[in-house]
Amino acid sequence: MKELSELKLKVLDLLREDARRNPELLATLLGASLEEVKTAIRELEEEHIIVKYATVVNSSKLDDEKVTALIEVQITPERGRGFEAIAERIYLFSQVKSVYLMSGAYDLLVEVEGRNLKEVASFVSDKLSPLESVLSTKTHFILKKYKQDGIIFEDHEEDRRLVISP
């Protein structure tokens, strides 16, 4: 694991908050030169520390909502490769959005997205469960997202009650 400079850590923190911040703004916020910031960003990208700039979408505001499921998967690790080989087979499916190695009652947590419940169910029964190393699966459908990547999706009305003081 590589130790990062203070500037790179600060750049990462600011880009995590808002990936649209341009190098000029970052330089101003950090009190650094534009060249230092551009170099830090380029190096972070080249080292694959920054892998992608993404947009967080509140899908409940769209008409074409997709179904998301979190699937607990118990597996038998492969000799010599452990969990890596089966994790790779799973994450290569187009329906799979994320795969995590977990501690606890199951081995992998797989996030899957589909157009509807039937499509996700078909993925689990036709593609995931039949894999040789898969011992069991438990599927949990996400009914509503309240917060994702630090972003709260709920629209909150400001409390407009009058303050009463004694």
pLDDT at 158 over 80: no
Pull the structure tokens for residue 27.
């330089």
Which amino acid, residue 107?
Answer: D
pLDDT for res 156:
66
Q: How far is CA 137 from CA 54, 70, 80, 120, 123, in A?
A: 29, 10, 24, 13, 12
Task: Report which secondary-structure segment, H or E, holds 69.
Answer: strand 67-75
Q: What gap in Å lies between CA 60 and CA 151, rounded to an integer?
A: 14
Confidence of residue 47 (pLDDT cuts 50, 70, 90): very high
Confidence of residue 113 (pLDDT cuts 50, 70, 90): very high
pLDDT mean over 59-77 = 88
Q: What gap in Å lies between CA 147 and CA 150, rounded to an integer?
A: 6
pLDDT at 88 over 80: yes
pLDDT mean over 129-152 = 92
pLDDT for res 148:
86
pLDDT mean over 111-119 = 95
pLDDT for res 163:
73
Confidence of residue 56 (pLDDT cuts 50, 70, 90): confident
Q: What is the dihedral of CA 50, 52, 56, 59, to 10 degrees?
A: -150
pLDDT at 124 over 80: yes
Confidence of residue 58 (pLDDT cuts 50, 70, 90): confident
Confidence of residue 105 (pLDDT cuts 50, 70, 90): very high
| 131 contacts 86 by C-beta, under 8 angstroms | yes
Q: What gap in Å lies between CA 16 and CA 9, rounded to an integer?
A: 11
Task: Report which secondary-structure segment, H or E, holds 89.
Answer: helix 84-91
pLDDT for res 157:
65
Write the DSSP symbol of residue 108.
E
Closest CA to 113 of 65, 57, 56: 65
Q: Report percent pLDDT > 70 for the chain.
A: 94
| 87 contacts 98 by C-beta, under 8 angstroms | no
